[in-house]
Amino acid sequence: MPLAPYLDTKPALGARVYAHSSCQIIGDVTIGDDSSVWCNTVLRGDVNRIVIGKGSNVQDLTMGHVTHKSPGKPDGSPLLIGDYVTVGHSAVLHGCTIGNECLIGMGSVILDDAVIPDRVMIGAGSLVPPGKMLESGMLYVGRPVKVVRPLTPEEIANLRYSAEHYIQTKNNYLNHQG
């Protein structure tokens, strides 16, 4: 498994977690039950912590990192990802907070201290600036992001469906490893 310690911290994986052999999970990283980390993803919890909830998926080529603790910022900026979150391919998540049942579009960048609350969709290629606080139940797109409209009930339901689809996919991988 692609896990590596950093100083006195090491990754902690919940039950039925799938971590592709090409990903890197380093240091103070906690991943909840039924989550998955896909091809060539890097979760580098060296100078602060990364916490991923249950049933979430972090797709191929994503970079997850943090900002160190300092006298001016005693908690630094950890990376916190909620339950049933889908993080699209090639996203960059740096020291931000993402709530439950969100979809982060492919190639999006979310920077330090940005807060994405529950049930938000970030369009592909979007940029969430440092410290930006978004509103739940909305679609955001752009560089920097702007609110486009409220999510429809079908889109909100699809946020959970997307994560559950990845749970089934990772189960297929786990059940067929040689």
Per residue of the chain (178 residues), give pLDDT as tens.
589 999 999 999 999 999 999 999 999 999 999 999 999 999 999 999 999 999 999 999 999 999 999 999 999 999 999 999 999 999 999 999 999 999 999 999 999 999 999 999 999 999 999 999 999 999 999 999 999 999 999 999 999 999 999 999 999 999 997 5
| Res 146: pLDDT | 98
What predicted TM-score, i.e. pTM, was given to this entire model?
0.97
| Res 1: pLDDT | 58
Range(s) of the domain holding residue 102: 3-175
CATH code assigned at 81 = 2.160.10.10
Number of structural domains in the chain? 1
79-81 and 3-4: which strand pairing? Answer: unpaired
